[in-house]
Amino acid sequence: MTIAIREATPDDIDAIHGFILALAAYEKLSHAVRVDRATLDRHLFGPRPMAEVLIAERGAVAVGFALFFHNFSTFEGRPGIYLEDLFVSPEARGSGAGKALLVRLAQIALARDCARLEWSVLDWNTPAIDFYRAIGAQPMDEWTLQRLDGNALVALAET
């Protein structure tokens, strides 16, 4: 059965939320999930969407998703796409759904004059790393991701 990729709609909130929970479980980060359906709906489909979602379907069944948003390269002077999450349900892995999601993201990036498509991967996730190498992705070894959140974010904002 073929894989179809489409833009998510508000009717997909339950599926998106389910994929996020499944991804968190896979990454051993279920304890870090705080998002609920209402928050997703507001930030994905509200008056000022902060991210976009693609849904991978096999038949009429959602089997994966990609959540992404734009960033901007000052060196390139052009936008980019940051892929926050890519997840394919275990029963659909190997079906081409992950690659189909990335192909569609690459098409969107080119159509929007983006300079790059970027994402992070956990260093222990060898199946994902091998897949990314197979499609031509390269690690950014000289860069280290930095994060400011929680109390540290509040403290800085209040300085």
Whole-angstrom CA distances from 104 to 4, 73, 117 are: 10, 21, 11
Q: Which domain holds residue 24?
A: 3-157
Tokens at 74, concatenated: 């000052």
Tell the residue number behind the tokens 């892929």, with chain if given: 83
Tell the residue number behind the tokens 């980060």, with chain if given: 29
pLDDT at 111: 98
Question: Does residue 1 carry a pLDDT above 80?
Answer: no
Tokens at 116, concatenated: 């790059």
pLDDT at 151: 96
Split into its structural domains, the chain has a count of 1
Catalytic residues: 132
What CATH number is associated with residue 52? Answer: 3.40.630.30
**pLDDT per residue over 100-159, tens digit each?**
999 999 999 999 999 999 999 999 999 999 999 999 999 999 998 899 999 999 999 999
pLDDT at 118: 96
DSSP state of 134: H
**pLDDT per residue over 69-101, tens digit each?**
999 999 999 999 999 999 999 999 999 999 999
DSSP state of 136: T
The Cα–Cα gap between 88 and 44 comes to 20
pLDDT at 44: 98
